Amino acid sequence: MSSPNLGIFEYFRGISYSIIKANYFVVKLVSLFKKAQFKHTLNSQNDLLTEWNKKVKKRIMPPDYLLPLLFNIEKTVLEVATDYPKLVDKEVEQIYTQVRAYLLETSRGKDIDEPYSSIKRKDELIEAIFKILDSREQENLDEEYINNPDYAPGGIPFRNLDHFYTTALRYLIKSAKRWRKEFGPKGYLTFIRSQIGDLGME
């Protein structure tokens, strides 16, 4: 015959066991939730990385022979931006587009007026770009690429220097637009400043 005290003890032990069991299931559920949440976060990060890689693959890098010219132009842009801190990516993109449109016409033998702007910082940038192009032309830095079948994007050789320069400017227009859209009004300027700074040539 069991004593009353023993019955009470068994009763409370049963309650304690139930509480422990319930706590176990709560902890188990929390653990499963955290694992699911972590897996969701990891999948989201992987999805973002995949999308980024897709974007990167879509970005066509310029050929190596254009890099010295691109560097000269972008370094010139930074010099003007230093003198005129209000210069923004959209304005740089506009100037690239104007200069390219002009050179595209002159490359076809047309005689037209050079572009200009009533806004001083933009006009300074136009003049600075033409100055660096004239300097490269005088030093014959790009002559080897003209009418050379080894340098023929799309199978068409560059017919003259102006044609060559329009190709470089096309890459710069795309770059300026991309960095501006992804990182704000001065995203492109910040990017090229970091790149030129990394080369120790700022």
| CB within 8 Å of 52: residues ≥ 6 apart | none
Residue 70 in this model has a pLDDT that exceeds 70: yes
| CB within 8 Å of 72: residues ≥ 6 apart | 132, 136
Q: How far apart are the first and last CA of the chain?
A: 96
Start-end of H helices in 59-119: 67-83, 89-106
HSE, side-chain direction, 13 A CA sphere, residue 7: 4
Overall pTM surpassing 0.75 (yes/no) = no
- Pick from 107, 110, 109: nearest CA to 157: 107
Q: What is the pLDDT of residues 28-58, one digit of tens each?
A: 555 655 555 555 555 665 665 555 445 444 4
